[in-house]
Chain A
């Protein structure tokens, strides 16, 4: 597919998303209240538009919870703990920073980003309760047993899963603070969690690669997401097997979500995304959208950007 044709589709998608913005936020569907996930993906997709980027940043700053994270509700609820959408909000803030020419806003965004990182570092899955569970493990198994792989839950107090862990890793790995010891260790343990939960024949499902001794099959979307989170470890066997799996299933994909994630992952890992993009643009509607879901249209726009404006999820 020619660059100019892709660019036309991308521009149309960008215009659609821009038209759906309401004071820097986007809902999942027209008529609903805002969602952090939808807003974050739209902000990422519209990263080339400084005004919208600033507006989205302001919305994200205004909806940050006191604990430093975000929750994927329509409106902030001070009684609610933050959740999995924190990774996506941080991704949008990190990518939007380049558009912030207002130094006060940039400082506020940097501060929000740092507080978000602190939330992520201190809100990972804990397999053992503190202090007694940890103490028991320490005595029975030794200190090394407490240095286990851990990612992020969907909601606080739960187990870790592939998708929230991938979102958070995609957000934080390329950040300027990624070399700081606490964040480096957090990211390292999170990617260990992903590597340990790869399915037997390659790829990832939601995080249950083995259940009751049965090997469970991978899913397309979660495989692409995990590959994006591990794109800087492209020579590892789990990544190579995951990529091989994704390449084997990509030709059969027909959903906006699967095609978008496949295109983003292929591009980030230096593979040809032409076929999946061809299918994706075939699903674009006259108004530029790809679905009734604004969030899915934003994902598709990010995928198209991979060959036009640049893949926003690719680590530099």
Chain B
């Protein structure tokens, strides 16, 4: 099996090298250096960023109560009288792969939202690969969780659209069309599944927001976000629809060929915080990864918030108690393979 993998890797590497030989003449020919303007740093989180790590061996654990105990240390925004949109990850479904946010986490997020005073809670997602949202809601169990909790679900892919100017964006897109549910929400909660990702290394609370971009305009997959550069696109989407906070589902996470073809890993924790850069950097460290190794996390450290451990105040379970080395996708030792990302949907 190992020999097979090496063979496949070599073959893929040869193909990538051939593609690289034509680099600059393909539609994925964008350079990968970021020049950050002062206006792009304007919304960056200031001061230190608290992030809670909540140990959870199982979804049956009382995760919401454990988070509530840490709320005083987290400085999460109050949501009194506000409408909160919970954005889980429901990009695709496979019965043997932890691709989507576990449905138990919907109840956790709704509980925390109510604790923070939210008047109305909506669950919303624009699945990135499959058009059949009705199927995904049933197969993932997220539909049943919403029904049980009395929470409305909005398919962001087919929502009414609002044109939003992409001022000082990192991509070439002058504007995005975004779902009205998102644009008019008082607050957004990013509720991702923690996974390795073969194009960006780690996907957590920021990359999860690709699901906000509506399929009715951008398709299934939302390929323009890859063509424009995934790292740049993540920054634009986070800056245009800044979530108030994130709860990352890493009770069971994904390692290897994520975000859809990896393997389950019992990481056993949930990460919570209002600075998404700090939350995602902390998740990377819990995967025994250096956030600085990943361009979008480096960029997030400049324009979204803190990624340096010196500026992140951890609460809850000590990070060394939950840190485990995740198996990384084949793309990371072979960076030329990353050039394939524009033509790939996931």
Contacts and interface: CB of A to CB of B under 8 A. Distances in A.
Interface string A198-214: 00000001111001111
Given A133-B25, A154-B218, A212-B337, A73 B161 contact: yes
A153 interface: yes
Interface in B163-213: 163, 177, 198
Contact of A74 (B129, B160, B330): B160
B103 interface: no
Contacts of B261: 211, 214, 216
Given A126-B27, A133-B26, A206-B345, A155 B131 contact: no
A10 interface: no
Interface residues of A, number: 55
B158 interface: yes
Interface residues of B, number: 50
B138 interface: yes
A190 B158 CA distance: 26
A132 B9 CA distance: 30
Contacts, number: 139
A159 B342 contact: yes
Which secondary structure dominates chain A's binding surface? loop
Interface in A110-145: 126-129, 132-134, 136-137, 140
B94 interface: yes
Interface in A181-231: 205-208, 211-214, 216-217, 219-221
A206 B221 contact: yes
A161 B343 CA distance: 9
Contact of A221 (B27, B130, B158): B130
Interface in B321-346: 329-331, 337, 340, 342-346
Contacts of A161: 219-221, 223, 345
B2 interface: no
B161 A158 contact: no
Q: Which 8 pairs from chain A and chain B are nearest by CB?
A: A154-B219, A133-B25, A255-B134, A213-B8, A158-B223, A255-B135, A28-B158, A159-B343
Interface of B: 8-9, 11-12, 21-22, 24-27, 29, 94, 129-132, 134-135, 138, 155, 158-161, 163, 177, 198, 216-224, 227, 257, 260-261, 329-331, 337, 340, 342-346
Given A129-B25, A211-B261, A295-B158, 19 more contacts: A28-B159, A35-B216, A72-B217, A73-B177, A126-B27, A133-B24, A133-B25, A140-B22, A154-B220, A155-B224, A157-B224, A158-B219, A161-B345, A212-B331, A214-B261, A220-B132, A257-B134, A258-B132, A293-B155
